[in-house]
Amino acid sequence: MNDGSPEGHTHAELWAETVHGRVAGMRHFGAFSELEIVAPRIAAKAVPGQFVMVTVPGGGFLLRRPLSLFAVRSDRVALLIEARGPGSERLTGLETGDAVDLAGPLGSAFPVSGVASALLVGGGIGCAPLQFLSEELVRAGAQVTAAFGFRDFRAARAAGAFAMERLWVATEDGSVGRRGTVIDILAGLDLPPQTVVYACGPTAMIAAVQRWSLAAGLRGYASLEAHMACGSGSCHGCVVDTARGKLRVCSEGPVFALDEVLP
């Protein structure tokens, strides 16, 4: 509903609520780090697939960084971060007790109701939102199978951050699990016909999962990435082409139906 804000944006779109969090812990898994933050108001509202916009502490960073919710535990949210550049590098260097501001939860959610069997497909740091999703699916009674692809041994250590019963791993260099991509795992899986596919990862992986799902007759969802400025719908910096036209990854997404994304 519009509240009279400029250009038809809702108040929520223009001003995502910022909360002052505190680092509760940091664990490192090879190339990835799990940052746990005490943020009760976000933890109370969050659903799988959503993300937060995190202020990089210490100054020098104008824009907040979008990070998926990896897990929600009581009054805490956990983020899984790959240090790709200076902002994420600084976030992975935070220590217990440090202050960190974050806005959220933002964006659309992965639908989970009515799903009996789910296939979670992740590529690299794209695996991040799939732990929270897996927990919600299991809680809703679904059988969950996961297939993750990583580039090498260091990245594959991230699998240690996940608690899933059926998790298959592939690495491009063959150092962990199957040699190849995550798509090579999918071919060997025996899944019920009504399985719902959930994918998050690089664009090329989303495209491959979309082709594979279509051929297998399975429907599903994909979480997309885009460079973001506001993270809450007002700057239109994160627009992508979809079968429904141009949509904002931060507000109409990041979760879209798999058959509507145009990777």
Ligand X SMILES: Cc1cc2nc3c(=O)[nH]c(=O)nc-3n(C[C@H](O)[C@H](O)[C@H](O)COP(=O)(O)OP(=O)(O)OC[C@H]3O[C@@H](n4cnc5c(N)ncnc54)[C@H](O)[C@@H]3O)c2cc1C
Q: Does 65 bind ligand FES (CB under 6 A)?
A: no
Retrieve residue 146's tokens.
Answer: 């996961």
Least Cβ distance, residue 6 to ligand FES (angstroms) = 14
Cα 115 to Cα 255: distance, rounded to the nearest angstrom: 16
Q: Which residue lies nearer to ligand X by CB, 47 or 128?
A: 128
Among 19, 128, 142, 186, binds ligand X (CB under 6 A): 128
| Largest pairwise CA distance in the chain | 56
Q: How many helices (H) and strands (E) does the chain have?
A: 7, 16
Burial (CB count within 10 angstroms: exposed 0-12, middle 13-18, buried 19+), residue 13: buried
Q: Which of 114, 1, 24 is nearest to 72 (CA)?
A: 24
Q: Does 258 bind ligand FES (CB under 6 A)?
A: no
Least Cβ distance, residue 192 to ligand X (angstroms) = 29
Q: Does 197 bind ligand FES (CB under 6 A)?
A: no
Residue 84 interacting partner from ligand X, ligand FES, none (CB closer than 5 to 8 Å by kind): ligand X
x/- letters, 226..255, toward ligand FES (CB under 6 A)? --xxxx-xxxxxx---------x-x-----
Q: Which residue lies nearer to ligand X by CB, 121 or 228?
A: 228
Q: Does 24 bind ligand X (CB under 6 A)?
A: no
Cβ-based neighbours of 245, under 8 Å, separated by 6 or more: none
Instruction: Give the CA count within 13 Å in the CB-facing half-sphere of 200.
Output: 28
Q: Does 125 bind ligand X (CB under 6 A)?
A: yes
Name which of residues 79 to 108 contact ligand X (CB under 6 A): 79-82, 84-89
Residue closest to ligand X when measured from CB atoms: 85
Q: Which of 21, 150, 139, 142 is nearest to 82 (CA)?
A: 150
Please report where in the chains the tokens 């973001």 appear, as a residue: 228
Cβ-based neighbours of 145, under 8 Å, separated by 6 or more: 117, 118, 119, 120, 166, 168, 189, 191, 195
Among 164, 226, 235, 257, binds ligand X (CB under 6 A): 226
Interface residue list for ligand FES (CB under 6 A): 228-231, 233-238, 248, 250
Interface residue list for ligand X (CB under 6 A): 51, 65-68, 79-82, 84-89, 125, 128, 225-228, 254
